[in-house]
Amino acid sequence: MQIFKVGGAVRDRLLGKPVTDVDWVVVGATTEEMLAKGYRPVGADFPVFLHPKSGEEYALARTERKSGRGYGGFTFHASPEVTLEEDLIRRDLTINAMAEDDQQNLTDPYHGQRDLEARVLRHVSPAFAEDPLRVLRVARFAARYAEQGFSIAPETLALMSQLSDSGELEALTAERSWKEISRALMENQPQVFIEVLRECGALKVLMPEVNALFGVPQPEIHHPEIDSGIHTLSVLEQSALHKQPLTVRWACLLHDLGKGLTPEEEWPRHIAHEHKGLKLIKAVNARFKAPKDCQELALLVGQYHTHGHRALELKASTLLELLQSFDVYRRPQRFEEFIAACEMDARGRKGLEQRSYPQADYLRGAATVARGVAVQPLLEKGFKGPELGEALKRERLKALKTYKEASAC
């Protein structure tokens, strides 16, 4: 039995990056031997075990053969005869197909170290084209390592395009797709993920609503970058620069989908794009089974982001309706994330990335004022039930009018 550290742990050590997750491959062992040593089996598809003390994953060396569509369409074979090189060749990229023993002696049959030094993301073998999930994975790695100057090898991009055209992407489950998308959005340059998907033709398959934004103009006076797709990429880039959470980044990606529905004869204006986009946002949310908090924020930002930009001009009654829509009294964090998404939208414009966004503090102040209206005095006056709700609304409106007048001075 031989044990090797593999994949990301080896790659990140060679890059000088912190190693967080460690995976191991065991060569020359059987399931019975692993169980006898106290390893705990996990997973039904192939032999993976948890170390009895560290809890880290140890997988028996295995080969795989395409047997169906999608990410799960593979038959695996694990036995003591499978070599380390045979196990490594089934991996996606050369930089992920390296192994090392406990003395850090490197096994690198597919020249991953050379590609690390050359800053190239390159597939290991033609079998890359058998797994559609790898399109998303490579795009995610491109987003992760863009800052280090990595690019995708032309021949690998060609295979990604081939996969995008094959119909295999449609076989991906929502859960697997979302796992890759959510991880990619949390990278330092998530816009690169979208750019790569678009370049290889995967974006029009996975997110045609986002793909439709490219080539759609906006009024140059408000959007010097003009193109709606480029704007979306810039907003996503700003969300990463400002370390926003996944909910905000997802909302930033989807906030302008309605602009893709505007008839060409109406360009560059996009009247009511906020409401038109809601059905598209719902469709994308459902397609990837996004978490509930991501779904809710994306819809709210899509519907109300222009309200955020016009906050200083809104009537007190409209401002109150906005606050009510977000339930700022019980869910203040969601409104804070809405403000963040609006600010990212405002900054995601060419040459305006550093412009201040006074609407943010104004909206926070309005929420504080509305939350500050006390219920007890109304109860003491005898209000209850629906009448109490109406009285509370009147008091909040009065407070917001005072706040608006004071802010204008």
pLDDT range class, residue 67, cuts 50, 70, 90? very low
> Are residues 285 and 297 in contact, defined by beta-carbon separation less than 8 angstroms?
no
Interval 163-199: pLDDT, tens: 999 999 999 999 999 999 999 999 999 999 999 999 9
Instruction: Copy the structure tokens of residue 252.
Output: 């930033």
Instruction: Copy the structure tokens of residue 389.
Output: 């709700």
Interval 133-159: pLDDT, tens: 999 999 999 999 999 999 999 999 999
Interval 287-330: pLDDT, tens: 999 999 999 999 999 999 999 999 999 999 999 999 999 999 99
List, in order, residues 6 or more apart from 24 with CB less than 8 Å away. 3, 4, 5, 6, 51, 56, 57, 58, 59
Residue 152, φ and ψ in degrees, nearest 5: -90, 135
Percent of the chain with pLDDT over 70: 96
Percent of the chain with pLDDT over 90: 88
Interval 193-252: pLDDT, tens: 999 999 999 999 999 999 999 999 999 999 999 999 999 999 999 999 999 999 999 999
H/E element, 66: strand 62-66
Residue 5's pLDDT is 96
Distance CA 89, CA 98 (A): 10
Task: Answer yes or no: is pLDDT of 84 > 80.
Answer: yes
Distance CA 267, CA 397 (A): 37
> Are residues 347 and 360 in contact, defined by beta-carbon separation less than 8 angstroms?
no
> Are residues 115 and 94 in contact, defined by beta-carbon separation less than 8 angstroms?
yes
Residue 69's pLDDT is 54
> Are residues 238 and 348 in contact, defined by beta-carbon separation less than 8 angstroms?
yes
Burial grade of 257 (CB within 10 A; 0-12, 13-18, 19 or more): buried
Residue 236's pLDDT is 98
